[in-house]
Structure formats: structure tokens, C-alpha cells
Amino acid sequence: ANPSTPEDLLEFLVEAYGTEIDCRILAVYLERSAAVGLRGVRALCYAGIDLNNLATAHGSARSALHLCCNRPVSVAVVEFLLDGAAVQAASGGCDPASFLGVDDTMALEQYLKGCPALDVGVVRALAREGVPLSPMPNSSGAWGTALTLACSNPSVSVGVVQALLDAGADPSQADVTGEQPAVCFCKAARETADVHAILELLVPADFGADGQWTYVTSEGTAQHKCSP
């Protein structure tokens, strides 16, 4: 039968050529596909593939996680890539604490900064034991924290903040610029139903009943009015 979908084509190629399929095809699929699907990833993850060191079309090495975590991706795909046993990968599953990615950052940092629609399940999967959250360093020595990055993302939700807190993120830890998560959140001036709930998670002792919260930045004192 003629392949009718990208996943059909991938399965057809793997069935025809087996492990002769270059790992760069997986890299291209993860990096450029508009919708990375578990079926396509399964088809291209042949036994022995090194998910932590994929050669890309540009010749650079990237982790499979880094290639798909700068945009919306399903929990199923992330968990599959983290589970090396599922694909009999040569080096085990993807290492979520690896710096092998864009700008030498961890996959979680890349996801929190680059994804326009954060998913609680993906955040929980990436913020697993062994991944530093407060602070979250990269190989160049600069750092933010998981919460400051999440709170700077317009799509942050109560669920995402709670997931990071459950994983051990410190709401009082400032990033390299000296700003705490609540400051990052307030500076974005979001007026959503989650504003009060998120601030209560980040600054429970200081959050005013009237919705008024004052914070101090390097430029001085600023005030943010939250609407219920």
C-alpha cells in the first residue's frame, strides 16, 4: 500500500531499510515536524540508536529531547524518549540533565523558554530527580531557575507552577539578574484567572488579600495590581 501519512512513510522506510536508516532522519523529524507523533518516533528509534547524541543535518550533535522540546510536544513522546529500554537505545534513554542542546541548555529550560503552550505532564516528565531547578545552570555558566523561566512564559499555569514546586523548585530563588519568580510573573502583567492562585503559590506570606503585591527590582520599587 502507498504511504498516506508521514508516519506511514517512516514505517515503510524503516521496514524496507532497517537500521540502514540514518539517525539524521530522526533528528530532522524531531526538529522540523509540525507535529511530532509517538508513532513516527517509534518507527525511527531502531535498536542501538544513541538518543543522547544524534547527528543533525547541520552536522552538530543534539539530544533527541532537545530537538523536540522548543515547541508543543506530547507527554507520550517525551516519556518514550526518556525510557531507553523502550527502544533498546545504546546509551539508555535521553538524559534530561544533559546540556547537549540549543545554547547548551537542558531540555526543561528549552521547553520552558520556547514552548508557547506549556503542558503540565511534559513539565513533570522533564523536571525529574537529578535535574537542577533552583538554579538551573547551563554550560556557559549563566543561569535562571525553572520557576523564573516558567513565570516569564505567557502560557504558565497553576498546574505548571505546582509541578515545579512538587519537583523541588525554590520559589524564593532569584535568577542571575536578581529577580525572583513572582517578579518575573508580575512584570508580564498577566490578567488571567490564574493570577491570584499563582502568586499565592509563589509568595504566600506576602500576597495581599486586596490583590495588591509590591515587589522590588534592580530599578527600584514597582507595584502590580492583580485583578480577580
Please check whether residues 115 and 82 belong to one and the same domain: no
More confident residue, 49 or 214: 49
Q: What is the pLDDT of residues 165-220, one digit of tens each?
A: 999 999 988 888 888 888 888 876 565 568 878 888 887 554 555 555 555 444 54
Residue 144 CA to residue 169 CA, distance in Å, equals 12
Q: Is the dihedral of CA 71, 75, 77, 79 positive or negative?
A: positive
Please check whether residues 6 and 89 belong to one and the same domain: yes
Range of the domain at 69: 1-95
Residue 157 CA to residue 98 CA, distance in Å, equals 26
| Residue 75 binned pLDDT confidence (cut-offs 50, 70, 90) | very high
Please check whether residues 219 and 132 belong to one and the same domain: yes
Residue pair 111/149 in contact by the 8 Å Cβ criterion: no
Please check whether residues 215 and 128 belong to one and the same domain: yes
**3-state secondary structure string across 13-72:** HHHHHHHHCCHHHHHHHHHHCCCCCHHHHHHHCCCCCCCCCEECCCCCEECHHHHHCCCC
Residue 218 CA to residue 81 CA, distance in Å, equals 41
Q: Which pLDDT value is given to residue 218?
A: 47
Please check whether residues 144 and 45 belong to one and the same domain: no
Please check whether residues 143 and 63 belong to one and the same domain: no
Please check whether residues 90 and 114 belong to one and the same domain: no
| CA 70 to each of CA 73, 107, 108, 120: distance values in angstroms, whole numbers, following the listed order | 9, 8, 9, 15
Please check whether residues 142 and 32 belong to one and the same domain: no
Please check whether residues 6 and 86 belong to one and the same domain: yes
Backbone angles phi, psi at 86, to 5 degrees: -65, -30
Q: Which pLDDT value is given to residue 135?
A: 84
Neighbours of 67 (CB within 10 A): 27
Please check whether residues 204 and 116 belong to one and the same domain: yes
Three cell numbers written together for 182: 513572582
**E strand or H helix at 201:** helix 195-202
Domain boundary among 74, 95, 116: 95
Neighbours of 13 (CB within 10 A): 16
Q: For the chain, how many structural domains are there in total?
A: 2
Residue pair 43/14 in contact by the 8 Å Cβ criterion: yes
Q: What is the pLDDT of residues 109-137, one digit of tens each?
A: 989 988 989 999 999 999 988 888 988 87
Please check whether residues 171 and 222 belong to one and the same domain: yes
